[in-house]
Amino acid sequence: MFQNARRVFLEAVETTDLTIVQKVMREMGAKGGRIGGKRRLETMTDAQRTKSARKAAKARWAKVKKAQ
């Protein structure tokens, strides 16, 4: 049992070198995430932002209730 757990742990922490394509795609994704949130905030109306915030809060509280 412990040997299997050790093997799984070692596989999980094993670092792999990213290819150039993977590095570029990761940077693009991170940049898009930073830009996307700001742009979404600028384009949404107050009512849309309120609705989105309520939906997010509801989802967070649903997780808390499931955990209990």
Which residues, other chains included, contact 18 with Cβ-Cβ below 8 Å and sequence gap of 6+?
Answer: 26
pLDDT digits 0-9 by tens, 1-59: 678 888 887 777 766 677 888 788 878 777 777 777 778 888 999 999 999 999 999 99
Reported pTM: 0.44
Dihedral angle, C-alpha 16, 19, 21, 26, nearest 10 °:
30
State the residue for tokens 């649903």: 62
Domain boundaries, the chain: 19-67
